[in-house]
Structure 1
């Protein structure tokens, strides 16, 4: 069944997930009326010989020069010079989410765009068509100009695109998808590129993946606590309430539900290492940070990212900076910090689990026959490398401003780079979570006790069903990915599990 997404309402992250596949985009009459009103107002303004950036002028630093007289030629004037992107194509799910966000922004009627542009975006999203969009080239100011320029050109039948996952010339892709090349004038072209929809899409998808990993690590921390026989008093509600941080209190409550019924073994020290004892404080702080990012993403998904904006009721064309992706830049950099510390926690928990001096007598590396077999040794090496990769790339992008465009763009947020990097790191975190999950599954095979809490037992049962014991040694790369997927699926809120 195809998902229906109504452009009359703010988008949700679930809508972006759904747009990976063909979706039905609903454009009701109120949306059509406000888009048409914005377009009619633009025509009136141009008829009055009023200056409108990008319609009567050049672009960027060349705003002081007249644009092309023919508005259709002005579309070429907008898009041709933006064909300067480099690097690999962005993932299809990111590009399709970007185009959905762009459609929603334009559907609010403040961009003066032609109604057929919104219709064309909706038609594209109903197919498997995906513009080929280069990763490199955006500074996240004046919108994601170069990546969105490539997307706009693909919709016109220029450049390249994908249909059913196959890359081909865009004109051929349009024909295969049953789409017509999109006619644009200067305002239409600028409205397609002059927003931060790519930055928002990548930030939102990175947030979604990080939230899933965050919930998964909560579950696996509970399972680790149970397998080792630790005392769960570090989750005590009174203790965490005294700490005073809302995220810590809420994470502690969630972990108590999973560990309900856990019986300590009496074989562990009074105070566990910080990777267990301080886990609610770390995971709770991450929860508070993710809630901040939630707010930024929600605002971006509901807002208008373009310049200029048109307000027919007030007879105003307002030129400004609603294409400046600073909020998402800060949010994505915060996501990277959260991802790095979540990765640190999961990797340290795996290290504790494979260490015979700290794992309550389990064999080193959880090997079924130490020396003859090596158990989780390769998986731990790989997870250490993944953590190092995340850390190495965690320098904030939002503080790296460089002037460009003849100092017209004299300060820029680099939100696109921050967001795409956070999405990359979230994928690595997913694999670290899978590594820990494989270790916990193997621990039971080599002598760890059976979980005593029903919630922990349910997690273990899912892992046992998906991952065979490591006995004898075998390549575990596929097991890590499979275990990560299992824990991610059971970590989703109940209503989202059908999307996993």
Structure 2
């Protein structure tokens, strides 16, 4: 281990896993499996072994997998482990980002530690030990249907813990056996039940969904903050934020956003030069961002249920001498909710791009120069930033087709209906990351607007945000590449929103 853990997480019923825990899993975390959890795991494991000794059939432990359940499995438990994992090593595409994989490992460990999956204690300890280091399995992006869990990607996690395949230590990609040695970890021993339990859950889907919710929650706050700053810089009247008006709309989250905007704009001095009614990209921000807040609130609830669920098959109930075969690995809730997150990200992206367009237009921005250039023609200021923003919005729109309705029968029609939750969740996370950059683009333009004649904000809440942006983004005069400025501004927005309650 190369550094001290930054967070201790105890596996107890009184302390459920949180979305914040998923984000913290990108670094070293100390996951404590308490005595009660260890007893649950061992009791369930003993029941599984007794069940197998009695000659009862248990899916995946005595049988083939998927539609091949009608055939016997391999003769020994170690062979049955290979039977489960090797055929799933068929993933393609680039490796997933390490924070996504590590969050998935945490969720999988949490699920297995509930004592319903029948794994050996060493499986849970192996995941916990890896999370205390910077060991991360190399997992290809493409392969999961989110229908029988995340079979293909999680097989790469299981194999890496055995010392097979590849893994990262820090940013270095290595053969997994070498990565385990570098991280001072021992390869885990697995049998067939262990192997199937490691892969037969929606942990990767839930991880991507949770990280998307976290990112979009910050971006929702950023959208509120940037809208307030735009209103102040342009000198708009805040009359459209009247609490009576928004209460009449009947949607509580619109009222919440209106309240947040009024708080940021407290002390605003309108210029008195704007038209009676502002464009929708200003006037309808409570309604638009309020609807996004409602959708995020729903998705947040789904994710919290998912990350604390037992997504596996079969499940074991020793107290009732019962083995339950079913479909808890079917990721439909996450599929629906993360497709909704993609729509939220895309519409917030549309709003940011339109607000940016408003700022650079001298016919609508209160007389500031076109493209916010100090010397138009000789300089072009944020013209390139707007071009890139338009490209990002177009990309988001193209990616907004729902994954959750793309069901294709597969697996010899064993999986005859599938949710594609993993693709939906990873897509939502991609769009969340693009939205950050659109907000960074708008922030750079707002900073430049004040430099070329826009007024300095008058509301203290807006002044504070502007000053933080001005610390990292210099005026554009003369022209310079602004790609890094956009990323720095996005980081400032993340930092300013990280400590606030978003939903």
TM-score (structure 1 length as normaliser): 0.98
Could you say what secondary structure the match of 1:162 adopts? Answer: strand
Q: How many residues align?
A: 496
> Which residue matches 1:322?
328
Following superposition of structure 1 onto structure 2, how do residues 318-357 of structure 1 map, counting pairs within 5 Å?
318-357=324-363
Q: In structure 2, do the counterparts of structure 1 residues 310 and 133 end up closer, same or farther at CA, with 3 Å as the change threshold?
A: same
| 135, 146, 161: which one aligns with 1:155 | 161
Q: CA separation in 2, counterparts of 1:455 and 1:181?
A: 53
SS at match of 1:317: strand
- Whether the 8 Å CA contact 1:88–1:134 is kept in 2: the answer is yes
Question: What's the offset of the Cα at 1:247?
Answer: 1.1
Query: How far apart in 2 are the matches of 1:191 and 1:262?
Result: 57
CA change 1:416–1:29 in 2 (3 A) is same
Deviation at residue 494 of structure 1 after TM alignment: 4.7
Q: Decide which of 4, 9, 13 is 1:5's aligned counterpart.
A: 9
C-alpha deviations, 1:138-178, integer Å up to 9, x for none?
11111100000011001001100011210010011111111
C-alpha distance in 2 between matches for 1:354 and 1:377 = 8
**1:68 CA displacement:** 1.1
| Structure-1 separation of matches of 2:87 and 2:382 | 52
**Hey, what does 1:258 align to over in structure 2?**
264
Is 1:407 matched up with 2:413?
yes
Residue 44 in structure 1 maps to residue 44 in structure 2: no
1:95 to 90, 96, 101: 101
Residue 422, structure 1, aligned to residue 397, structure 2: no
Unaligned runs of 5+ in 2: none
State the shift of 1:314 in Å.
1.1
Distance 2:257 2:194 in 1: 46
2:197 corresponds to 1:191 = yes
Match of 1:392 among 392, 398, 404: 398
SS of the equivalent of 1:63 reads: helix
Measure, in 2, the Cα distance between the counterparts of 1:208 and 1:72.
39
Shift of 1:452: 1.2
Q: CA deviation at 1:264?
A: 1.1
What are the Cα deviations for residues 445-466 of structure 1, in whole angstroms up to 9, with x where unaligned? Answer: 0001111111011111111111
Q: Following TM superposition, by how much is the alpha carbon of 1:491 offset from its aligned partner in structure 2, in angstroms? A: 1.5
Alignment of 1:294-313 (within 5 A): 294-313=300-319
- In the alignment, the residues of structure 2 paired with residue 363 and residue 40 of structure 1 have an alpha-carbon distance, to the nearest angstrom, of 75
Q: Does 2:107 align with 1:104?
A: no
1:493: how far off?
A: 2.4
- CA deviation map 1:322-372 (0-9, x unaligned): 000000000110000000000000000000000000000000000011111
The CA deviation string for residues 58-85 of structure 1, in whole angstroms up to 9 with x for no partner, is: 0001000011121111000000100100
The equivalent residue for 1:70 is 76
Aligned residue in 1 for 2:447: 441
Task: Give, in whole Å, the separation in 2 of the partners of 1:488 and 1:115.
Answer: 39
Aligned partners of 2:212, 2:383: CA distance in 1, in Å?
Answer: 29
- CA–CA distance in 2 between the matches of 1:73 and 1:246? 57
Question: CA–CA distance in 2 between the matches of 1:492 and 1:47?
Answer: 52
Query: Which residue number in structure 2 is paired with residue 177 of structure 1?
Result: 183
Deviations 1:430-456 (A, max 9, x none): 000000000000000000111111101
In 1, Cα distance between equivalents of 2:394 and 2:150: 29
Query: What is the CA distance between 1:137 and its match in structure 2?
Result: 0.6
Is 1:81 aligned to 2:87, yes or no? yes
Kept in 2, the 8 Å contact 1:74–1:185? The answer is: yes
- Residue 372 (1) aligns with residue 398 (2): no
Q: Superposition RMSD on alpha carbons, in Å?
A: 1.0
Q: Report the alpha carbon displacement of residue 293 of structure 1 after superposing the two structures with TM.
A: 0.2
5+ residue gaps, structure 1: none
Per the TM alignment, residue 234 of structure 1 is displaced from its structure 2 partner at its CA by 1.1
SS of alignment partner, residue 25 of structure 1: strand
Q: Distance in 1 between matches of 2:392 and 2:411?
A: 37
Aligned to 2:130: 124
TM-score, reference length from structure 2:
0.98
CA shift digits 1:459-479 (9 cap, x unpaired) = 111111111000000000000
Q: Distance in 1 between matches of 2:306 and 2:49?
A: 28
- Aligned residues of 1:10 and 1:104 also touching (Cα < 8 A): no
What's 1:467 paired with? 473
CA distance in 1, matches of 2:393, 2:185: 44
- The structural deviation recorded for 1:495 is 8.5
Shift of 1:22: 1.0
Worse-superposed segment, 356-365 or 259-268: 259-268
Write the distance in 2 (CA, Å) between the matches of 1:360 and 1:200: 46
1:220 paired with 2:226, answer yes
The runs of at least 4 aligned residues of structure 1 exceeding 4 Å deviation read none
Q: Work out the CA distance in 2 between the residues paired with 1:207 and 1:389.
A: 20
Q: Distance in 2 between matches of 1:6 and 1:468?
A: 45
